[in-house]
Structure 1
Amino acid sequence: MRARITELDAIIDALSTRASVDSDRRRVVTNYASKARWELAEAQRSLLVSRPGRRRAAHLGVAQAHMDAALNLMVWMASAEDIKAMLPQMVALVEEHFAPSDPRRVRVTDIARGMQHNADRKLRPSERAFLAETVGLARKLLWNERLRVRSFVRIVATVTVGLTIAAAAVAVITVVWEALVPLCFTPEFEGGFNVVCPTASEVVVPDPPSEPLTSGMIAGVAQAGDYLVIEIVGVLSAAIASAAALRRIRGTSMPYNVPVVLALLKLPLGALTAVLGLLLMRGGFIPGLSALDSTAQIIAWAIVFGYSQQLFTKYVDHQGQALLDSVRGPGSRAADSPDLR
């Protein structure tokens, strides 16, 4: 972005030099050029942070806003010949953000077609004002699209932090009070019960054997790290799902890491879905799958439930990709371009 600012500064010098000999622009060129240079200086200043790693999206957004203002001032400052050179880029920007039937797009196209067909045609002041305002509005629309992406990233990041805190709280609580809700299964085994937990298992025979298995007996087998192990397995499984999902998400040149925040969202959610899925199985919610008889089976189901978070986050992935696609660029037009010939 700094290279672009330097380039625009040089372009302003060239435009002001040519505009100074233009009879229509020589009286206003100094004022517009100084204001455009001030905007570029502000853009440069917004990028001056103590460390490059701390240059966040907000700084880049402010810099882009100042650069857009400088570009708009260049339209007011430029000579008629320079405006002709800028017209293809202006038309492309307007086409990206306005529908074909929009009167603003139609008029910009008419102005460009008229100046292309008639080399001696002069640009009227009203046409210059219209071009400057319409192109400026197109840049604002582009900026609004980027703001929507930025808001989406913040929402996903906030939810990710909340889920991470929830997963950490579950791990801490169950480490301190391991018998609070034992994550264990109790299939019958040789006149007793095989109490199977994620990190330990033990055959328990009630005394007398006809007595049912009590929660205290189950709690005696449960270990402090049961939930923590399941959450770690869920995170690892979600990480694999996240890596697989990234292949469907295209990158972006914007300073907002949409693919990264979407990938991070899956990790704490995988930890929680692994725990909640096993709790549902332990409660008999899934018929026929409430009597796991080995720790390996528990870990295997934790992998399945950790990966299953993709069933929920795929909709968030689709929304993120839709927002990225909505930020139009040179390859994304609102509709087919009209023929300027």
Structure 2
Amino acid sequence: MSDATGGGPDREPWLTRVRTWYDTRTPIRASRGEMGPWEQKEAVRARIAELEAILDAAAVRASADKERADVAESYAVKARHELVQAQSALAHDSHPRMRGAAHLGVAQSHVDSAMNLMVWMASGEDIKAMLPDMLALIDEHFAPRDPRRIRATEIARRLQHDDQNRGLRLGERAFLAETVSHARRLLRKETLRVRSFVGIVMSVTVGLFLAAIGVAVMSCIWETAIPLCFTPEISGGRYKVVCPSFSQDFEGPPTAEQIADTARAQDYLIIEIVGVLSAAIASAAALRRIRGTALPYNVPVVLALLKLPTGALTAGLGLLLMRGGFVPGLSALDSTAQIIAWAIIFGYSQQLFTKFVDNQGQAVLDAVRGPSSHPGSTGPHA
């Protein structure tokens, strides 16, 4: 006798079989676990492997110093724990909310924490070897006249000219560890600012898409509400009602009823499609200024998508302004082709508005590189 699931008494219920299949390493599950840029994810994994080897070697060297052996071992334990947490974040299969690249940022935060702990446990010679990278990171995220940047440079100079082999003082070690840690936190904040910018632009883009769809649907339902029609005078007292998809001649000035009879439900839809196509061409033309980014957040793509619904809306709004006589001499288009042509122009003109968003997007990307990326900034150690 079959059970309620359709299988026999010795057969596993079909729902359980589906769950068992899904829990195995199927392509669906594997792709879910690989959300985000795969190359950057593997780069973080490789960095974790490097740090594990460096940490083991540093722990062996620190154990030779009996005075610092216990303290170094404590830091090493915490650093290994941070690397384990980074590996766990990269797996991220069990995360309740998965964002495309959030796990990369979490893993990098744990890696940064492990590196900061290694500064505390490293020997003086190891600190000297790490100083160039530490100074580069500090210079990248602190202004040239920032006292923390100046102090770090002074410590580096003293260690380079330490003829008496006095080594690194405890206060200097603490300062370097905290300053480098703060610089890494600033880098994470700059990266999170990029993610926030992408989220805001995507939200606005979705809102504009919904607005454009709403306008198209409402114009199909209430086609006579605000018709996109013009009424040019032909000759001899004859007038013409010209709409985006239909035109008709009348004797004498057309009445509101005659304009409503000429308007069609698809008028706004046609104009919005033309506006989207024009905006798509503007997006393609804007590619010449895109330099790309190594961040896991695709700023150029969201900026290009923003132009599409904006073009759909500016095409319709521009024609309404012309119909209302906002542009002198252009309030009486006399053919459907002219209406479509102006819709193309207004759809492309969305670039006048979205260029400010493009500039802001580039500024947000440039800010990730830190104050030292600005022209004229020079480090005190130069």
TM-score, normalization: structure 1? Answer: 0.91
Residue matched to 1:75: 119
Residue matched to 1:136: 181
CA distance in 1, matches of 2:267, 2:228: 7
What is the CA-CA distance between 1:50 and the residue it aligns to?
4.1
2:243 alignment partner, one of 197, 217, 230: 197
CA distance in 2, matches of 1:330, 1:46: 30
CA distance in 2, matches of 1:77, 1:260: 43
Residue matched to 2:171: 126
2:321 alignment partner, one of 280, 288, 296: 280
Asked if 1:240 is matched to 2:257, the reply is: no
Q: Spell out structure 1 runs of 4+ moving beyond 3 A.
A: 22-25
Contact 1:25 1:78 in 2 (8 A): no
Residue matched to 1:63: 107
Residue matched to 2:293: 252
Number of matched pairs: 334
Greater RCO (CA < 8 Å, at least 6 residues apart): 1
Residue matched to 1:317: 358
AA aligned to 1:57 is A
Residue matched to 1:335: 377
What is the CA-CA distance between 1:24 and the residue it aligns to?
4.8
State the superposition RMSD in angstroms.
2.2
Asked if 1:27 is matched to 2:65, the reply is: no
1:32-77 Cα shifts (integer Å, max 9, x gaps): 11211211222222222449xx652322222222121111111012
Residue matched to 1:155: 200
Residue matched to 1:184: 229
1:175-195 Cα shifts (integer Å, max 9, x gaps): 122222111111122433221
AA aligned to 2:299 is V
CA distance in 1, matches of 2:161, 2:323: 78
1:67-123 Cα shifts (integer Å, max 9, x gaps): 211111110121211111100111111111222322211221111111122262311
The residue matched to 1:45 in structure 2 has which SS? helix
AA aligned to 1:131 is L
* Bigger mean CA offset, 4-13 vs 297-306: 4-13
Residue matched to 2:161: 117
CA distance in 2, matches of 1:295, 1:9: 70
Residue matched to 1:14: 57
Asked if 1:104 is matched to 2:145, the reply is: no
Contact 1:183 1:197 in 2 (8 A): yes
Contact 1:25 1:79 in 2 (8 A): no
2:217 alignment partner, one of 164, 167, 172: 172
CA distance in 1, matches of 2:185, 2:74: 23
What is the CA-CA distance between 1:23 and the residue it aligns to?
4.2
The residue matched to 2:248 in structure 1 has which SS? strand
CA distance in 2, matches of 1:117, 1:47: 42
1:285-296 matched pairs, under 5 angstroms: 285-296=326-337
Residue matched to 2:29: none
